[in-house]
Every structure is written in structure tokens, then in C-alpha cells.
Structure 1
Amino acid sequence: MARAGRLIAPHGHDSLDKTDAALESSSRGLRVLAVSFAVLMVTAAVQAVIVVRSGSVALLGDTLHNVADALTAVPLAIAFSVGRRAATRRFTYGYGRAEDLAGIVIVLIIAATAGLAGYEAVNRLVDPRDISAVGWVAAAGVVGFLGNEWVARYRIKVGREIGSAALVADGLHARTDGFTSLAVLLGAGGSALGFPLADPIVGLLITVAICFVLRDAAREIYHRLMDAVDPGLVDQAEAVLRTVGGVRRVGSVRLRWIGHALHAEVEILVGHDLTLLQAHALAVEAEHRLIHEMPRLRAATVHTDPYDPSGADHHAPLNSHRIT
């Protein structure tokens, strides 16, 4: 097969820089998870005390949700730690996929939370009871909102800075939890006005909100497991490759997330009369541009094909082996 060959262009100082950046981003992620875990557990503890005193199932649902949100930090922290391990001959891409496994655990935790909160709310609808300490219940709802909103901002900010979609999604989850905490105020207000069913009704509404979060989280994890990426990233990679002098055409571009790092496999068409060294130099430049202009990209494999004006198919021997 007439071709310049499969050219994997290692880029020495960038590889080292990217590895250091990856370790630092994992360390920052671990710090965020530790701090947010502490904040949410304190928030949930304050709410739990008031749940025992008041008997509010709306507040119980919100408390359980906050506990679940805090617990999602545990599998994520494990995943960040495992993801820092170096690649091996068995795990040749490293351990970044541990974040996706953590995502599955998070989805299961959210599902269990929805089921428990819904069960308690239905029980209270069947057997309605007045709640006490209405003022404290309302205060607990405000505490839940403030705790979740602080955690949401912290997770989203750092998640975007280090390129962790899992951390950003967890931050958005916390923000949703904050608004469900405010819903507790409605239940407390209804009970104060002599409508005891307001509390379990709000509890059911919180359960529905949790189910929406569950749907979004499950969809996000499904996309990651299926190697889905934002099409805009593919457009960006193609645009970068077109700026490389000597690239006649851009072929296929494949991107995948491995943890919070992006990896690329691309094909470029170069002049068919180039020497091997010249084609290799173009592959090096293409990888160099991709790594520098796509901040979340950690590694790229660049494959060069000859651009032949005669239209010859230099991959003909492989055609019968390709899946169409």
C-alpha cells in the first residue's frame, strides 16, 4: 500500500506538560470533592436534626437528596485517584475511564434517593400528619439552598477549568438540589396555613425533580460510555488541521473522552510526492497544533495518507476488512 505510513508523532515537552497538568487537575478535583463533601454533609446534618423534630417528609426528601449528593463525591474521588495511575500494558489508555464507572454509581445513588423520598411522601399522603416547628423547617430549606448553591458554583468553576465534565455535571446537580431545597418552604407554608397535605405533596414534587436529575445524569453517562463528544469539538479539530501548511485535506477525525482528558485520532492527506521525513514533519506539526489549540486534548495520533491527483485508492487492500 503506497502511503507515507502511520505516523505517531510524540511531542516531548508537551507530553510532559500535559501529564503534569493532568496530575494537577486531578489534585484540584480531589480538593473540590473533599470540600464539597464536608459542606453538604454539614448541611444535611443540620436538616436531619430538624427532620427528627418536625416530621416533615418534604424536608426528609431534601435531606436524603443532599446526603446522596455528598456521597457522589466518594466514587468521584476514587475515580480521580485511580485515574492518576500510569498506563500499563494491559490498560494502555490508562485509568481515566474510572470516572465513567463512578458516574454509574452516582446514577444508582440518585435513583435510590428518588425511590426512598417518593416512598416516604406517598406514605404521608395515605396517612397525613401535621408537622411541627414549621419555622425551623423553612430555615432548613434555606440552609439546603445556600449549601448546594455554594457547592454548585465551586464544582462548576473548577470542573470547567480542569475539563472535567463529570465534575461540572455534579455541580449542576447540586444547583438543582438547591432549588428543590427552596421547595421545602412551600410545604412549610402550606402546613402553617392549615393544609397538612402540602408537605407530602411537596415531597412528591421533590421526588419528581430528583427523577429529572436522574434522567439527565443517566444520559450524560450513557454518552460518555458510548464515546459521544460535542460535534463542535470535531469542527474545532478539523479547523485546526486545515491551518497546517502542507495538509491538502482532512480525513476522519475521532475524539473520545478518557476521564477529563480528550484524546484524538485523525487522518490528514499530504502530497504524494513527499518524503517520509517530510510527511512525518507534517504529522508532528498537526499534533503540535491540536495539543496547543485544544486545551483539553492530552494526546493525538496523526495518520498521514498520500493525496494522489490520479485518484488511486491506496487503501484498496483494506476495503474488504472495513465495516461500512
Structure 2
Amino acid sequence: MPAVLAHAFAPHSHDSATKTDAALESSRHGLRALVISFAALMATAALQAVIVARSGSVALLGDTLHNLADALTALPLGVAFWLGRRAATRRFTYGYGRAEDLAGIVIVALIAASAALAGYQAVKRLIDPAEVRLLGLVAAAGVVGFAGNELVARYRIRVGRRIGSAALVADGLHARTDGLTSLAVVLSAAGAALGLPLADPIIGLLITIAICLVLKDAARQICHRLMDAVDPALVETAERILAGVPGVENVGAVRLRWIGHALRAEVEIAVRHDATLLQAHAVAVAAEHRLIHELPHLRAATVHADPDGPPGADHHAILSAHR
């Protein structure tokens, strides 16, 4: 009987082979998206670099550096996706999914470095103006940069949302911002063509500011992940799912956390105090099952069942000093 009682009211786990396969498949999709987008952005940056060397445009240089930094963000993310596919161990009992958060720190550092270098070159050109050559090619490079980044952005965002990777979605939004800065290069070429020599370094400074805005948003998102923040709407959804499970009398604490691009949940529910052990166990399993299958990107859930009543009973009295 003690063993049955412990099993009925202990946390329940739903780690199935299907969920493991789904996690591995999502990592494979993420890696494929990174490889393809890395190749596209490197090709874009290489073409722009050739034109920078011939034209001397610092606005285009800033955009090229930004595109290069965006391409390089695929490397730490790729390592993180690869690590995330490894099985949990006795030391890393939750697996290696948090490697994505560490990759996010590297991404923020790369964005900051590209902003610093672009800003330095723009200020240097303001102090020592120089003629921008091959304006037609500069403008064409800006258009190529916009097209390459927008294609990469759409691909990364689509895959990131499908597999639940906030890091990949953020990287896609970063690429979309890069595309807009590429269009600014076209404006710098137009200004130079109109006889405004300072248009190029001024646009370069504006691109630097745009990079800094992306840096701020990326740093905030990574900080939220490191602090285990989740969208409150996810918590509300989980509470609504649990409340709809037959036999759940009340929903207690609901805790969610992202581990890489997968969610884990720890929840408390109350069942009738006069329910049999088997009935209470069935309610807990049903709640766990509903959560995993109805809450997007949830890979595992732990459900703790408490008896709801009788009035005045304190089923956690022995733990009161620890809470």
C-alpha cells in the first residue's frame, strides 16, 4: 500500500520515445536551416566585400560587417543544436538544451563587435572624407543584401516557429533588420550621386544605430531566457488546459521553463480527497497527457496531485517550515 500511495500522489513523467524523436527531428530542422542560411549570407557578404574594396563605401562596409556577423551567428547556434541532441546524463539531468542560451550570449557579442567596427569606420570617414566610387555597384550591393537577408529571415523565422526555437526566430528577425539596413546603403549611394559626400558616413552611423537597437533586443531576449522567463500567455494556457481535465478540482502552481527550444512544466493539481488511489492516479496522468499534447513545444511535464479537502486539513504540514 505505501508503494501504491507514493505512486499515486508522486510527480508523474511523460518521457516517451515519440517525444524524444520529435526533439531530435526539430534539432535536425534547425541545423538544416542554419546551414542553408549561413551559406546564403556568406555569399551575400562576400559579394558585398568585393564591392566595398573597389568603392570605398563605409555604409556598405557597415552593412557587409553586419551580414557577416549575422552569418557567423549560425556557428554557435549550430553547436548548440548539436549538443541539444545529446541524451541527458547523471550530471546534466535535463540534457544539453541550455547550450542555446550560451550560444545566444555569443550572438550578442558578435552583434556588439559588428556595431563597434561599423561605428568606428563611419566616424573615421566623417573626420577624413573620401570619395565613394562605383555608386551603381554600391546601390546594387545594397539591393542584393536586402534580398539575401529577407530570404534568410523568412526561412529562419518559419523553421524557428515550427520547432519552437526562440533563438532561431530571433536570428531571423535579426536578418530582417539587416535587410532594412542594406536598403539604407542604397540611400547613401543616392546621396553621393547627388553631390553629398557626407551621406555615406552618415548612413554608416545610422546603420550602426540600427545594429545597436538589434543588440538591445537580442540581449534582452537572451537575458529573459537565462532567467527562465516565459510568456505569461503560456502559463494561462496551461492553467486552462489543466482546469478542463475531468477530475481536476483545482489548479495550483504552474511553472514553465524553456530548455533550448523545448518547454518543460511542473504543475500542481488538486483532486477529490475521497477519490481512490487509482482514480487520483488516472487524473494526474490525464492532466499530464493533455498538457503535453495541447501546449505547444512542451516536451515533458511533471504533475503533482494533492487531495482537495477535507476542510481544515493541511496535507503539507510537515513541509511548512521549508516553504
Following superposition, the deviation at residue 275 of structure 1 comes to 2.5
**How is 1:95-134 mapped onto 2 (pairs within 5 angstroms)?**
95-134=96-135
Following superposition, the deviation at residue 313 of structure 1 comes to 1.9
Question: Which residue number corresponds to residue 283 of structure 2?
Answer: 282
Question: Which residue number corresponds to residue 85 of structure 2?
Answer: 84
Aligned-CA RMSD value: 1.3
Question: Which residue number corresponds to residue 221 of structure 1?
Answer: 222
Asked if 2 retains the 8 angstrom alpha-carbon contact of 1:3 and 1:314, the reply is no
Which structure 1 residue ranges, 5 or more long, are not aligned? none
Following superposition, the deviation at residue 6 of structure 1 comes to 4.4
Indicate yes or no: 2:289 matched with 1:292: no
> Following the alignment from structure 2 to structure 1, what is the Cα–Cα distance between the partners of residues 147 and 17?
40
Asked if 2 retains the 8 angstrom alpha-carbon contact of 1:9 and 1:287, the reply is yes
> Following the alignment from structure 2 to structure 1, what is the Cα–Cα distance between the partners of residues 52 and 6?
71
Question: Which residue number corresponds to residue 159 of structure 2?
Answer: 158
> Following the alignment from structure 2 to structure 1, what is the Cα–Cα distance between the partners of residues 223 and 276?
44
Identity of aligned residues (%): 74
* SS of alignment partner, residue 8 of structure 1: coil
Asked if 2 retains the 8 angstrom alpha-carbon contact of 1:3 and 1:306, the reply is no
* SS of alignment partner, residue 263 of structure 1: strand
> Following the alignment from structure 2 to structure 1, what is the Cα–Cα distance between the partners of residues 9 and 203?
60
Question: Which residue number corresponds to residue 322 of structure 2?
Answer: 321
Q: Note the alpha carbon deviations across 1:219-278, whole angstroms, 9 max, x for none.
A: 000000000000000010000001111110000000000000000000000111223222
Question: Which residue number corresponds to residue 39 of structure 2?
Answer: 38
**How is 1:302-317 mapped onto 2 (pairs within 5 angstroms)?**
302-317=303-318
Question: Which residue number corresponds to residue 8 of structure 1?
Answer: 11
Asked if 1 retains the 8 angstrom alpha-carbon contact of 2:60 and 2:142, the reply is yes
Q: Note the alpha carbon deviations across 1:86-106, whole angstroms, 9 max, x for none.
A: 000100000000000000000
Asked if 1 retains the 8 angstrom alpha-carbon contact of 2:251 and 2:268, the reply is yes
Asked if 2 retains the 8 angstrom alpha-carbon contact of 1:7 and 1:283, the reply is no
Question: Which residue number corresponds to residue 177 of structure 2?
Answer: 176
Question: Which residue number corresponds to residue 265 of structure 2?
Answer: 264
Asked if 1 retains the 8 angstrom alpha-carbon contact of 2:41 and 2:67, the reply is yes
> Following the alignment from structure 2 to structure 1, what is the Cα–Cα distance between the partners of residues 108 and 99?
14
Asked if 1 retains the 8 angstrom alpha-carbon contact of 2:14 and 2:301, the reply is no
Question: Which residue number corresponds to residue 252 of structure 1?
Answer: 253
> Following the alignment from structure 1 to structure 2, what is the Cα–Cα distance between the partners of residues 73 and 37?
6
Most deviating of 311-320 and 155-164? 311-320
Asked if 1 retains the 8 angstrom alpha-carbon contact of 2:255 and 2:267, the reply is yes
Q: TM-score, normalised by structure 2?
A: 0.96
Which structure 2 residue ranges, 5 or more long, are not aligned? none
> Following the alignment from structure 1 to structure 2, what is the Cα–Cα distance between the partners of residues 24 and 4?
32
Question: Which residue number corresponds to residue 56 of structure 1?
Answer: 57
Indicate yes or no: 2:24 matched with 1:23: yes
* SS of alignment partner, residue 249 of structure 2: strand
* SS of alignment partner, residue 274 of structure 2: coil
Most deviating of 113-122 and 307-316? 307-316
* SS of alignment partner, residue 31 of structure 2: helix
> Following the alignment from structure 1 to structure 2, what is the Cα–Cα distance between the partners of residues 70 and 167?
12
Q: TM-score, normalised by structure 1?
A: 0.96
Asked if 2 retains the 8 angstrom alpha-carbon contact of 1:83 and 1:98, the reply is yes
Name the aligned partner's letter for residue 132 of structure 1: R
Asked if 2 retains the 8 angstrom alpha-carbon contact of 1:227 and 1:256, the reply is yes
Q: Note the alpha carbon deviations across 1:162-192, whole angstroms, 9 max, x for none.
A: 1111111100000000000000011111111
Following superposition, the deviation at residue 8 of structure 1 comes to 2.9
Q: How many residues align?
A: 319
